[in-house]
Amino acid sequence: GESVGLHLPTLSVQEGDNSIINCAYSNSASDYFIWYKQESGKGPQFIIDIRSNMDKRQGQRVTVLLNKTVKHLSLQIAATQPGDSAVYFCAEFSSGNTPLVFGKGTRLSVIA
Amino acid sequence: DGGITQSPKYLFRKEGQNVTLSCEQNLNHDAMYWYRQDPGQGLRLIYYSQIVNDFQKGDIAEGYSVSREKKESFPLTVTSAQKNPTAFYLCASSTGGGRGSPLHFGNGTRLTVT
């Protein structure tokens, strides 16, 4: 989800449930996408990436889905844990030497 | 133990003073970046450097300056011309190149200007 102003979209989930965080990207020429997790007071950490020749990629407890037709990216977290509480950012890259472009982020809150 | 080191973690300055934020990496990455993050917001690109002795302005470069004299180091100076300098500053590096690669971030410097 994209945010407006100072308010990040927030997703609240029960511990043990699955989480789905969505991101709409802007550039149809983007061919590489990354999800980052940022905990309070820290720098973003790499979670998982995907290139445009794939539509799904799985990691440990995480899956990224890419729908190029509607320019949509999602991050699925299985069996969400309290340690998953953080802000999640998607980032997109288009060919060339331009830097990654970051989305505004979604705050995930896990309810114990 | 490779990574990116930003120092200091917290920095306080009086309005009108220039201040330099340090960023060092030992990942042997070619590209380095500076981002600014305001409360509840995403990351905005200030400057980036793809190679030593070369750098480009990002989306919000006004009031900032950088240098890239060494591969390992990319210091950011917040000048008195920056109208609203209080923010969380993040440095990152990547292998660079045209196919896209993940950015590795430091843990940031929180700058407060009063």
Segment A34-49 mean pLDDT? 95
Distance of CA B85 to the CA centre of its chain: 13
Cβ B40–A49 below 8 Å, yes or no?
Answer: no
Confidence of residue B1 (pLDDT cuts 50, 70, 90): low
Cβ-based burial of B14 (10 A; exposed 0-12, middle 13-18, buried ≥19): exposed
> At A106, is the secondary structure helix, strand, or coil?
strand
Segment A59-78 mean pLDDT? 96
> At A104, is the secondary structure helix, strand, or coil?
coil
B6-22 residue pLDDT tens: 999 999 999 999 999 99
Segment B38-49 mean pLDDT? 90
State how far the Cα of B13 lies from the Cα of B17, in Å rounded to an integer: 7
Cβ A97–B96 below 8 Å, yes or no?
Answer: yes
Distance of CA A71 to the CA centre of its chain: 13
A101 backbone dihedrals φ, ψ, rounded to 5° = -110, 125
pLDDT at A1 over 60: no
pLDDT computed for residue A7 by the predictor: 60
pLDDT computed for residue B39 by the predictor: 84
pLDDT computed for residue A6 by the predictor: 47
Question: What DSSP state is assigned to residue A8?
Answer: P
> B83: which strand partners?
none
Q: Biggest alpha carbon distance in chain A?
A: 44
Cβ A42–B108 below 8 Å, yes or no?
Answer: yes
pLDDT at A97 over 90: no
How many Cβ atoms sit within 10 Å of the Cβ of residue A10? 12
Provide, as residue numbers in chain B, all residues whose Cβ is less than 8 Å from the Cβ of A48: none
Segment A57-69 mean pLDDT? 96
B55-77 residue pLDDT tens: 999 999 999 999 999 999 999 99
